[in-house]
Every structure is written in C-alpha cells, then in structure tokens.
Amino acid sequence: MNKYLIASAVILAAFAIPACCQNLPDGPGKEATSKVCSQCHELGRAISLHQDRAGWQATIQKMVSLGAMASPEDFEAILDYLSKNFPAAEPPKLHINSARPIDIEAALTVRHSQALAFVAWREKHGPITSLDQLKDAPGIEFAKFESHKDRIVFDQPSVSANSGPAPRY
C-alpha cells in the first residue's frame, strides 16, 4: 500500500517543475535554453521575440558579448530550439468581412481613403464570400487583394455555420 504513497509522490514531483520552465515548449534544446538564458534575466525575456534564425543568431551573439557562456554545442542547440519554437510571426489574417478600415490599410498597404471606400462598398454589398467578388470593389485594385489572398479570410459575420438550421425570418 506504500505503492500509492510512492505513486503520489512521483506525481507531485512531476508537477513541481520550477515556474521558470513550464511555459517552454518541449523539444531538443529546451534544457540548454532554460539553463543558459535565465542566468541574467528571466527566461521570459529571452523568449520575448519572434524572429527568424538569423535574428536569433544575432540575439545570441549579443548575449555572448554581454557575457553569456555555454559550450558551442549548447549554443547550437539553443539556436535550433529558438528558431524552431519562436519563429518570425506570420502576418495576421485579414478578415475581409469584419476588418476595420485601419486593418485594411495596414494589411493591403493602401491609403485610408481607399480603405474607407472599400468598407462603404462592403456595407452595401453584404458579406463577401470569394476572392472573385473583390474584383468589383471600388478604390482598391484587385491585384492588391490577389497578392494577399493567402491572408484573406472570408468568414461570415454573425452567422454561425454549424449551430443548427438557419433562423427563419
């Protein structure tokens, strides 16, 4: 019956991970990262960036110049780990039916007046369901939409597709 005590002790020990490392995703290099990158500041600061491999390389270089020390293998593992788990952020999606003028301006790099014209047209036109419909949008060239088509989401505002039959009016 001591087995139960031992089992619970093991379970408790498993949860007693120091708070510093709980949020790190698992994977090779995790240990080296949490050991080396929490020496001078919180680990949270070390992983506060999202950048590509070259960016992480530069950050690690900077930390070395500030005095960070580890074996070359550990630095390599840390670089792999950070590049894989904290890569450059993807550009945000553009929800074409609910985006505000400012979102459209930023996402498509168009002028404010163009974004306003688009939103005015959208209000009259109703929900947009395909890229093709954007050919009719005034103010913004279709090429702009087309070159960002991977980011455009055609979700329908306030209609939930999977929640039973459509309401009758």
Site residues, ligand HEC (CB under 6 A) = 36-37, 39-41, 45-46, 48-49, 59-60, 62-63, 66-68, 78
CB 108 within 8 A of CB 140: yes
157's torsion region: left (phi>0), alpha (psi -120 to 50) or beta?
beta
Residue 156 CB, shortest distance to ligand HEC, in Å, is 40
Nearer to ligand HEC, 29 or 114 (CB): 29
d(CA 53, CA 109): 27
d(CA 93, CA 152): 6
Residue 80 CB, shortest distance to ligand HEC, in Å, is 12
CA angle 122/128/134 to nearest 5° reads 80
Residue 36 CB, shortest distance to ligand HEC, in Å, is 5
Nearer to ligand HEC, 57 or 98 (CB): 57
Nearer to ligand HEC, 41 or 149 (CB): 41
Residue 70 CB, shortest distance to ligand HEC, in Å, is 7
Residue 160 phi, psi (nearest 5) = -95, 115
Q: Please tell me the chain's helix, strand, coil percentages from 3-state DSSP, rounded to the nearest 5.
A: 55, 0, 45
CA dihedral 9, 13, 15, 19 (to 10 degrees): 150
| DSSP 8-state secondary structure symbol assigned to residue 58 | H
Nearer to ligand HEC, 37 or 96 (CB): 37
Residue 52 CB, shortest distance to ligand HEC, in Å, is 14
Nearer to ligand HEC, 78 or 94 (CB): 78
